Amino acid sequence: MAKNKLFTVKPLAKLMAEATGDEKGLKRTLGAWSLLALGIGAIIGAGLFVRTAAAAGGHAGSAVTISFIIAAVGCAFAGLCYAEFASMIPIAGSAYTYAYTTMGEIVAWIIGWALILEYALGAATVSIAWSEYLNNLLGGAIPYNLCHSPFEVAADGTHGLINLPALFIIVVLSLLLIKGTSESAIVNAIIVFIKVAIVLVFIAIGWGFINPLNHAPYMIPATQPSIDMGGGKFWDYSEFFHHGFGGVMQGAAIVFFAFIGFDAVSTAAQEAKNPKRDMPIGILGSLAVCTILYILFAHVLTGVAPFTDFIDPVKGKEASVSYAIQQYMHGYEWLGTAVTIAILAGFSSVMLVMLMGQSRVFFSMSHDGLLPKMLSDLHSKYRTPYKANIVLMIGVGIFGAFIPGSVAGDLTSVGTLFAFILVCLGVIILRYKSPEIPRAFKTPLVPLVPILGILVCGLMIASEPGQTLIMSFIWMVAGLAFYFLYSIKNSKLNNPHKNKD
């Protein structure tokens, strides 16, 4: 196979022509506020409620606020690179499209395949968690066998049959996306308003319950006594990454994934009314808003309850905020239920944006001939990639209904971080190859900022468990097999005589 065929680069002129051909393409309906809401919708899920307690309890203490700042800076490196590309190349497809025009077809395929891990698998995993929280909110009213996969067994021996709530939410959101992008954006904005409002209420009320003693000392000291976790296990704070600045850095690695999702905004570039102005606002604005909310939330949570409470697996993780409210904010127990609603709302908007992002990546890859043509077919009335949405509804729905959420592991994070790395690298390459191209938004301090983004994301990937990395490698091998068996033979760029626009 000729090397130049694998690394064929899609000309920028061709991309720009596709971006302006709106008559038969995706409908441009999204303004700056809609894109900002999409970003916030994708970022704020349960990560805010779960990761904060996990990072504070075992590593950073009250200084988890500093961990959030460090993680936000790390994400900002990639976010700045995404903003440059999204404003310059207003095409659906996100990192896949950027890689195609800078590093060639094979790299674009790899990143497109990796994005499936982030978007499709991520949406499926979140649907399973959504089902669990819904049942908790309903007091366990849904029978075990109707909200668990066939591979799960209850303590009393009851076998799961199908996870109907997970399947239900995927079907509803997919049908909404088929109906239209603007309608989906409106629903997302309403969901974002609900969950942000509840977060702000917790911050406002919780501020009055902050005990200054819980913030002193701000970083966990090396002399902090060990915590009895039960079963003969103790949490030792003397280890380097369990106290002081080392703990803050480990905390940053934990909360880093609470920021992931802003990149999904770039998949909607072809549906933005004014992408040159609005895409940077959506990407960087959502990062900024979420960072501020995260820091305030962490400050209140660790002020209301001592960080040592969250090392307890019962009080920490999913139940951390509800525990803090019930234990220390007497008279506001209703807020615990509101937090559960906020988590459900967070999950819903995350799934909505992930499903939209994946359908747009499929649309772009199909439009280039690398995936079957039907995935780029647009609905005659709604002008949405409805067949891509239907395929996702079936595939993601089956995963959510019949596969345990634990199977996904951290695969979604690996796909995301890999995309970040290639986008950062792409900015450097395009600055060198095509410095004359107008850029509505320019990443500052190139190549320093992209290099720092590559380093941060590379370290995050390296910190993943070995099993996760092996599964990611297997996924990539499967993707390359598909590319060489199908995609390279049907690529419009490499086979112009077979495929004509």
**Do 214 and 300 contact (CB within 8 A), yes or no?**
no
Whole-angstrom distance, CA of residue 442 vs CA of residue 428: 11
Element containing residue 234 per DSSP (H, E): strand 233-235
* Closest of 456, 80, 455, 418 to residue 266, by C-alpha: 80
Phi, psi of 196 (to 5 degrees): -70, -40
- Long-range contacts at 193-196 (CB < 8 A, ≥ 24 apart): 194/341, 194/342, 194/345, 195/44, 195/342, 195/343, 195/345, 195/346, 195/349, 196/40, 196/44, 196/293
Instruction: Give alpha helix (H) positions in 7-141.
Output: 12-20, 32-43, 47-55, 64-88, 95-102, 105-116, 122-137
Q: Determine if the pTM surpasses 0.85.
A: no
**How many Cβ atoms are within 10 Å of 385's Cβ, its own excluded?**
28
Angle formed at CA 135 by CA 131 and CA 137, multiple of 5 degrees: 115
The pLDDT tens digits of the residues spanning 179-216 come to 877 788 888 889 889 989 989 999 999 999 999 999 99
Burial class (CB in 10 A: 0-12, 13-18, 19+), 474: exposed
- Assigned superfamily of 30-140+180-222+241-346+409-490: Amino acid/polyamine transporter I (1.20.1740.10)
Confidence check: pLDDT of 37 > 70? yes
The pLDDT tens digits of the residues spanning 80-129 come to 998 888 888 777 667 888 888 888 898 889 988 988 877 888 888 889 88
**Do 457 and 420 contact (CB within 8 A), yes or no?**
yes
Place of tokens 């190859």: 433
The pLDDT tens digits of the residues spanning 344-369 come to 888 898 898 889 889 988 998 998 89
